[in-house]
């Protein structure tokens, strides 16, 4: 479970932006007849878990939560902190956002009842309001130091309220992608599948430690989630995005 702790470190925020940038351009590609809103920095959508809103003339409006996972690398020995890790074969479904460490016993009940100063908090899989999850596996060959200046420039542009289109183009031309894969699923369908799926569809939990609590995600076998569950594989998308950069 220690391998998944990388998702709690600061570099994970950068990976999320890298993945979000790729997905935005994928959804805005020339052949797409839709309008995309990026609301991932809008506080009114934080509690709903909504990063993107896609307005499509054919299927209507969809709200999307973006998850970016670096555990998709082709080399089982290659580990680049927060950017590339060996393919896990799982999709992580966060069931508990905060499992509190403080679980003392209550002396008034003879030490039989757990008492916590703060309650546990359900994970995004059960609480968020997005219609769909875009779960994007992205394993990069870049060193973190290569991408830090681009990320810092992006942060400064956001703070000043300036357009980020130029820096996003720079990022996309700078990324060296080992492997990528987009899997999407509708949340309501996934929740129903989760309740009915056999135990063989999962392998334990992944734990991400924080100072006062653990975040727990159920590890579902990715291939089974796609073939026998709600997941839809779109294959790799980065090459499509890059080929459309200058159009």
Taking only the tens place, the pLDDT of each residue in 200-226 is 999 999 999 988 899 999 999 999 999
Q: Give percent of the chain above pLDDT 70.
A: 88
Question: Distance between CA atoms of 198 and 154, rounded to whole angstroms?
Answer: 44
pLDDT tier at 119, thresholds 50, 70, 90: confident
pLDDT, residue 29, reads: 76
Q: Average pLDDT of 33-56?
A: 92
On average, the pLDDT of the chain sits at: 89
Q: Residue 246 — φ and ψ, nearest 5°?
A: -95, 15
For residues 178 and 239, the answer to whether their CB atoms sit within 8 Å is no
74: pLDDT strictly greater than 50: yes
For the stretch 155-207, pLDDT in tens is 999 999 999 999 999 999 999 999 999 999 999 999 999 999 999 999 999 99
Residue carrying structure tokens 């980020």: 164
pLDDT, residue 109, reads: 53
7: pLDDT strictly greater than 90: no
Classify the phi-psi angles of 53: left when phi > 0, otherwise alpha if psi is within -120 to 50, otherwise beta.
Answer: beta
Question: Distance between CA atoms of 221 and 159, rounded to whole angstroms?
Answer: 39
151: pLDDT strictly greater than 90: yes
Greater confidence (202 vs 5) lies with 202
Please tell me the number of Cα atoms within 13 Å of 117 on its side-chain side: 4
**What pTM value is reported for the model?**
0.89
Residue 127: closest CA among 93, 101, 174, 103: 93
Angle between helices 165-174 and 11-27 (to 10 degrees): 100
How remote is the C-alpha of 38 from its chain's centroid? 15
């Amino acid at each position: 479970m220690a391998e998944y702790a990388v998702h709690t470190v600061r570099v994970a925020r950068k990976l999320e932006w890298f993945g979000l940038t790729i997905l935005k351009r994928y959804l805005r590609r020339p052949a797409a007849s839709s309008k995309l809103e990026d609301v991932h920095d809008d506080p009114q959508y934080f509690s709903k878990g909504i990063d993107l809103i896609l307005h499509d003339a054919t299927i209507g409006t969809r709200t999307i939560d973006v998850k970016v996972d670096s555990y998709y690398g082709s080399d089982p020995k290659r580990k680049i902190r927060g950017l590339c890790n060996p393919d896990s074969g799982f999709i992580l479904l966060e069931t508990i956002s905060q499992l509190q460490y403080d679980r003392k016993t209550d002396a008034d009940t003879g030490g039989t009842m757990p008492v916590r100063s703060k309650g546990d908090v359900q994970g995004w899989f059960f609480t968020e309001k997005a219609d769909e999850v875009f779960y994007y596996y992205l394993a990069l060959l870049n060193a973190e130091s290569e991408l830090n200046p681009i990320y810092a420039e992006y942060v400064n542009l956001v703070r000043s309220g300036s357009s980020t289109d130029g820096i996003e183009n720079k990022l996309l031309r700078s990324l060296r992608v080992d492997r990528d894969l987009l899997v999407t699923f509708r949340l309501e369908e996934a929740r129903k599948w989760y309740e009915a799926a056999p135990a063989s569809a999962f392998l334990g939990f992944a734990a991400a430690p924080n100072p006062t609590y653990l975040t727990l995600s159920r590890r579902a076998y990715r291939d089974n989630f796609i073939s026998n569950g709600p997941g839809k594989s779109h294959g790799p998308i980065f090459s499509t995005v890059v080929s459309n950069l200058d159009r």
